[in-house]
């Protein structure tokens, strides 16, 4: 009965305004399910988990290592294409096997090959130590904010250059979530 007293044009405006507020609230709401998410202009977009399918082993000439080993990931490129050079990610309930904490989060650049991508791992196996490390040239500095004990957001501290990336933990052996940052020329076409 109350609706019959409101002119239909005002009712339509009120409905449209409430839909916009609702959509805005949903876009900003955290995802409910565990996983990794990218904050797109439309809201949180779930990312695809990938696992390493093989390891290229280093060529070793005692006691020096000539070539690093690499973790290999299927596909020449990620399915998630990002135009924002400073993306925001959300990890909820550390969904990777073996997982890690906010201190273990790593954003690394992948080397693109013909039909797969590599994450190089520099072996430190010498007479003096045996600690492997990701090369500094492939590590992206990030800011990690704990939203709660099992939810944290990740943002690169600088704009990412175009290319393939993986969001992972530790050395990347647990797999991760891949994405591609598009060059500005391609981003403008989208």
Same domain, 95 and 124: yes
Same domain, 117 and 38: yes
- Domain range spanning residue 14? 1-30
Per-residue buried b or exposed e for 113-126, using 16+ beta carbons within 10 Å of the residue's own CB: eeebbbbbbbbeee
Instruction: Specify the number of domains making up the chain.
Output: 2
Question: What phi and psi values does residue 86 have, to the nearest 5 degrees?
Answer: -130, 70
pLDDT in tens, 39-68: 999 999 999 998 887 655 554 555 554 456
In the three-class reduction of DSSP (H, G, I as helix; E, B as strand; rest coil), residue 33 is classed as coil
pLDDT in tens, 82-134: 999 999 999 988 666 666 677 888 999 999 988 989 888 876 655 454 556 78
pLDDT in tens, 2-15: 434 444 443 333 33
Same domain, 87 and 179: yes
Same domain, 69 and 9: no
Same domain, 5 and 57: no
Give the per-residue pLDDT at 99.
64
Contacts of residue 99, Cβ cutoff 8 Å, sequence gap at least 6: 169, 174
Same domain, 169 and 184: yes
- Cα–Cα distance between 45 and 31 in angstroms, integer? 9
Give the per-residue pLDDT at 108.
93
Is residue 160 within 8 A of residue 154, CB to CB? The reply is no
CA distances from 67 to 59, 137, 172 (A): 5, 15, 18
Do strands 176-181 and 81-82 pair parallel, antiparallel, or not at all (unpaired)?
parallel
Same domain, 100 and 140: yes
Same domain, 99 and 174: yes
Same domain, 112 and 174: yes
Q: Give 125's DSSP letter.
A: B
CA distances from 174 to 11, 87, 168 (A): 53, 22, 7
Same domain, 23 and 112: no
Same domain, 140 and 115: yes
* pTM for this model (two decimals): 0.74
Same domain, 26 and 104: no
């Amino acid at each position: 009965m109350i609706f019959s007293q409101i002119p239909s044009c005002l009712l339509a405006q009120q409905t449209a305004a409430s839909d916009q507020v609702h959509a805005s609230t949903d876009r900003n709401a955290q995802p409910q399910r565990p996983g990794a998410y990218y904050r797109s202009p439309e809201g949180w977009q779930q990312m695809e988990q990938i696992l390493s399918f093989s390891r290229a082993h280093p060529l070793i000439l005692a006691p020096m290592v000539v070539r690093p080993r690499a973790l290999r990931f299927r596909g020449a490129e990620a399915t998630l294409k990002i135009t924002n050079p400073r993306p925001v990610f959300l990890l909820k309930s550390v969904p990777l096997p073996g997982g890690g904490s906010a201190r273990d989060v790593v954003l690394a650049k992948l080397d693109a090959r013909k039909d797969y991508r590599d994450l190089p791992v520099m072996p430190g196996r010498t007479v003096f130590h045996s600690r492997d490390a990701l090369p500094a040239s492939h590590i992206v500095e990030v800011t990690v904010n704990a939203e709660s004990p099992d939810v944290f957001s990740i943002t690169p501290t600088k704009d990412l250059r175009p290319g393939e990336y993986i969001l992972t933990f530790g050395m990347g052996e647990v797999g991760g979530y891949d994405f591609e940052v598009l060059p500005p020329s391609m981003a403008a076409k989208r």
